Amino acid sequence: MSTFHVNQVRKDFPILDTKIHGKPLIYFDNGATSQKPTQVISRINRYYENENANVHRGVHYLSDQATQAYEEARTNIASFIGASSPKEIVFTKGTTDGINTIAYSLGELLQVGDEILISGMEHHANIVPWQLLCERKGTILKVIPVLEDGTLDLEAFSRLLSNKTKLLSVVHVSNTLGTINPLDFLIKQAKSVGALVMVDAAQSIQHLPIDVQTLGCDFLVFSGHKVFGPTGIGVLYGKLDLLNSLPPYQGGGDMIDQVTFEKTTYQEAPLKFEAGTPNIAGAIALSEAFHYLNSLDLQSAFAHELTLGQYLRANMKDLPSMRFIGEAPDTCATLSFLVGKIHPLDLGTLLDKQGIAVRTGHHCTQPLMHRFNIPGTVRASLAFYNTQEEIDQFIIALERSIHLLS
């Protein structure tokens, strides 16, 4: 029996009571950022009011308290994603920062002609760092094509793999299409040619259970602000032996062991990758977000969200001139669409006037837009605090907007 009660959960998110242009907020832009529960907001305040000090560097009480909370955050997050040790959790600024860390650090060990494999549905954050690496080191970037239904061309993927493939870096869930990629197959195939695997979980950790040991990936990255935590904090998971084998990405305080003008030695992971004063409050508040998730019946929460996504798609499909971009059989509650010749920006603007927040544009996936020969889409992306009643109101507002723009 489900113990997830959406109306009770909504009380934890104060922003959901906001009025936009005199209308109750309907927040369908969770793919861009999620809203924050009171527990997370309060934890940020409590840190700055009662614990504020730098970590790892002081012997006084506040520094000890801050360090303890910061390292407890690492332990809590390691447990949530099934890491074998807290040392496998590196705090970053977000998904982009985590990908860049590996692109630079692993990149230092690659040779001319080594190949990096990504997919055609990647966010720019999982494209540009590899392009920079190719320019710097002479490596080669290869791309798995996307089929018309928004799934990956797995036959082409198998052909692209070779003993030159050193890393597969792939998104778990497409931020634009909602497609859930078959990680089990992708990782198994990549491992068969000796490649490392990095998973971009920015759009999946808030929707799906994740266990990095079960997945068998070598690296995994995500952003705090998309999993009900604050902005400016994220996580890079890496197998400990791999992290310790890589050179540091940045130099500075806290990542060093000994410094002389002749030579510097470094800490082991994870501190080796956390140069400078970290986002202490962000890490602690992100941990609180995972405490909050653990307080819910997550299986029921995820099921509620999936049902909402199916309800949304079913109620939109018969609207006049509706075109879904990507219709993969396995998706999260994220839906990109176009309506006839109406520009996405115009549709998004009219929806905003009715209190509805959606995202319009290319969603930082310009190559994917080129694949479908479109300038952009309207994207509705749901979270477990959304409701069927909100979808009903969205459909009414959408129909009204389409009528006005047709």
With a cut of 70, say whether residue 373 has pLDDT above it: yes
At residue 304, the pLDDT reads 97
For the segment 306-320, what is each residue's pLDDT rounded down to a tens digit? 999 999 999 999 999
Q: Whole-angstrom Cα distance, residue 138 to residue 79?
A: 38
The encoded tokens of residue 238 equal 């890496």
**What pLDDT shows up at residue 3?**
80
pLDDT tens digits, 161-185: 999 999 999 999 999 999 999 999 9
Measured CA to CA in angstroms, residue 180 lies from 187, 205, 265, 344, 398 at distances of 14, 12, 42, 24, 26
Mean pLDDT in residue range 268-287: 97
Residue 264 in tokens: 């510097």
Residue written as tokens 């000796």? 194
As a whole number of angstroms, the distance between CA 225 and CA 233 comes to 7
DSSP state of 57: S
C-alpha dihedral (246, 252, 257, 262), degrees to nearest 10: 100
Query: Cβ neighbours of residue 11 under 8 Å, at least 6 residues apart?
Result: none
10 pLDDT band, cuts 50/70/90, is: very high
What pLDDT, in 10s, does the model give residues 77-108? 999 999 999 999 999 999 999 999 999 999 99
Helix crossing, 388-405 with 344-353: angle to 10°? Answer: 120
Q: Which residues are catalytic?
A: 364
Dist CA 108 CA 175 (whole Å): 29
Average pLDDT over residues 343-367: 98
- The long-range contacts involving 156-162, CB below 8 angstroms and separated by at least 24 positions, are 157/117, 157/186, 157/189, 158/189, 160/117, 161/117, 161/189, 161/190, 161/192, 161/193, 161/195, 162/115, 162/193
What domains appear along the chain, each with residue ranges and CATH number? 6-30+298-405 (3.90.1150.10), 41-294 (3.40.640.10)
